[in-house]
Amino acid sequence: MVKVACCWDDGVVNDIRLIALLRKYKAKATFNLNPGSMPEHTAVPRWRKLDEPVWSYNGFINGKVGLSEMKEIYEDFQVASHGWLHKGGSAPVDEFFKDAMDARKYLEDVFQRECRGYAWPCGDYTPQAAKRLQDAGFLYARTTQYTDDVGVTDAPMHLNASCHHMDRLFCDKFRAAKAKNGIFYFWGHSYEMLDCDGLWNQLEQKLAMLAEDPEVQWIDVIDIVK
């Protein structure tokens, strides 16, 4: 038996296509959201114009899910705080903590359930910030670092995953976790697949592989530390 978890950051529009795949393969997922940077209505993805002074991923401007559609889109999945405005742990600690808690409170109000997970923006972690999260009742905080022993830690505020979803050794790392009878945990951003069918097909092949394995048990990220 191997337990499998995944999470996805930033609340971007490609999450809608991702969620369709997750549902198709009966996969669980946690979405780490920044409500303060999400517009009222869902944006339309587009490619950046030449010399346009906006951030993009390889020229792709994915845009964010709208606050008015957030609950409907993510209702069947876990959500976690990724900060109100994506402020990392190296920000002044009171400013960081308010950012983390504002997102948590907003998500709890919208979804009417506890939101006790956190993902460090850009992996920006500090022990002082971690202590504030733990004292406030967060159960875990995901980093951008990797481990072969997911869940084998006494520091849930520094929770490492197995790999990124586009890791070229994704399947090898899954098999290694399975051989240990352990946990396989991957993460990423759905915008990394752009609007490229080839990249989406690669993800679907991975989800199909997991779905076809009778020893796979999907869990939520928070189950790793509970």
Q: What pLDDT digit, counting tens, does each position of 2-53 carry?
A: 999 999 999 999 999 999 999 999 999 999 999 999 999 999 999 999 999 9
Is there a contact between 5 and 185 (Cβ–Cβ < 8 Å)?
yes
Question: How much is the pTM?
Answer: 0.97
Which pLDDT belongs to residue 109? 98
What type of residue is 220? D
Average pLDDT over residues 104-123: 98
Average pLDDT over residues 123-151: 96
What confidence category does residue 155 fall into, taking pLDDT thresholds of 50, 70 and 90?
A: confident
Of 163, 171, 185, 169, the C-alpha closest to 213 is 171
Which pLDDT belongs to residue 108? 98
Give the chain's domain count. 1
Could you give phi then psi for residue 89, rounded to 5 degrees?
-65, -20
Q: What pLDDT digit, counting tens, does each position of 77-94 carry?
A: 999 999 999 999 999 999
In which domain, by residue range, is 208 found?
2-225
What confidence category does residue 70 fall into, taking pLDDT thresholds of 50, 70 and 90?
A: very high
Is there a contact between 192 and 57 (Cβ–Cβ < 8 Å)?
yes
Of 161, 177, 168, 186, the C-alpha closest to 213 is 177
| Long-range contacts formed by 197-203: CB under 8 A, 24+ apart | 199/166, 200/17, 200/21, 202/166, 203/18, 203/21, 203/165
Q: What is the CATH number of the domain that holds 176?
A: 3.20.20.370
Which pLDDT belongs to residue 55? 92
Average pLDDT over residues 168-193: 97
Q: What pLDDT digit, counting tens, does each position of 187-199 carry?
A: 999 999 999 999 9
Percent of the chain residues topping a pLDDT of 70? 99
Average pLDDT over residues 193-211: 98
Say yes or no to pLDDT of 153 above 80.
no
CA distance 121 to 20: 25
